[in-house]
Amino acid sequence: MARRCVQGEETIMIRWRNGAAALATLTAGFVSEAFAGTGQPSPWQLGMQTPVTESAIFLNNMHDGVNIVIALISLFVLALLIIVIFRFNEKANPVPSKTTHHTGLEIAWTLIPALILVGISIPSFRLLKMQIELPKADITVKAVGHQWYWSYEYPQDQGGGFGYDSYMLDPEGAKKANQPNLLAVDNELVLPAGKTVVVQVVGQDVIHNFAIPSFGVRMDAVPGRLNQTWFKTDVEGLYYGQCSRLCGANHAFMPIAVRIVSPEKYAAWLVDAKKKYAEIDAKPVQVAAE
């Protein structure tokens, strides 16, 4: 009888494992392909926006991987619960075991979760290092969060020397520009493809947050503190983000729009932008800790 039960359990476990693997593959496939938008959310989206930078790809893989671990653990616990419900209810098991300790089991259920966490922490710290360690910048720009808009500054020594404000377009303006409502802005942050861009992020009044999902970038804009983040993408296009720190009444209405263009187009844009925007004395700010 006991032998049959163990075999039955094994069959159940194998079935569960196969089912879980199929589900995980299905989920990962759907999440990363079918429902993701590039640079903006898409209707019925389930997963992250399509990643276009190295750290965003890493971040997405990490997210999908951890999701699979979560799914497997949840299914395992569910399977244990189902086994307990059917095999150890009062009818099926009228005389319960009086066991209170099982050393092997206690070591296992301490050690295995700890090892799973260590396993997750290794890629997690690698990702953190990738995001925190700034590579040598080809271009440095400054993003300043205000209640409730962003302003961008291009330093003099990189052909810039100007800055401008970036406000959300009203619904009619967004429609006219054929861009999504609540994400479209009047003046986009224009940057070249294939270059390492370091963004210095600071807040003018309260704490804002400079976040662009497709770049895997999310950095607090704190008054009196200069934070830095970076990205590099080869994919030209328009990428939207939003202020991601509650900053007041119009927090939801200060989107970020980054247009990635070819280096040639960027050079041409710089010339035009210099004429268009009033000159300011923008220099890359040195960080005391560096």
Beta bridge partners of 152: 143, 164
CB of 244 to Cu ion, least distance (A): 8
Closest CA to 54 of 140, 121, 129: 129
Q: Residue 247 or 257: which CB sits closer to Cu ion?
A: 247
Q: Residue 139 or 243: which CB sits closer to Cu ion?
A: 243
User: Contact positions toward Cu ion, by CB under 5 A?
Assistant: 208, 243, 247
139 CB-near residues (< 8 Å, 6+ apart): 158, 191, 192, 195, 196, 197, 198
| C-alpha span between 247 and 208 (Å, rounded) | 6
CB of 166 to Cu ion, least distance (A): 12
Q: Residue 79 or 221: which CB sits closer to Cu ion?
A: 221
CB of 248 to Cu ion, least distance (A): 7
Burial zone of 64 (CB within 10 Å; 0-12 exposed, 13-18 middle, 19+ buried): middle
CB of 201 to Cu ion, least distance (A): 11
| C-alpha span between 65 and 285 (Å, rounded) | 38
CB of 218 to Cu ion, least distance (A): 13
Q: Residue 208 or 232: which CB sits closer to Cu ion?
A: 208
Q: How far is CA 264 from CA 193, 257, 260, in A?
A: 10, 20, 11
Beta bridge partners of 192: 261
| C-alpha span between 200 and 85 (Å, rounded) | 56
Q: Residue 247 or 261: which CB sits closer to Cu ion?
A: 247
Helices and strands in the chain: count of H runs, count of E runs:
5, 10
CB of 207 to Cu ion, least distance (A): 8
Residue 238 is encoded by which pair of tokens?
């328009």
Q: Residue 131 or 209: which CB sits closer to Cu ion?
A: 209
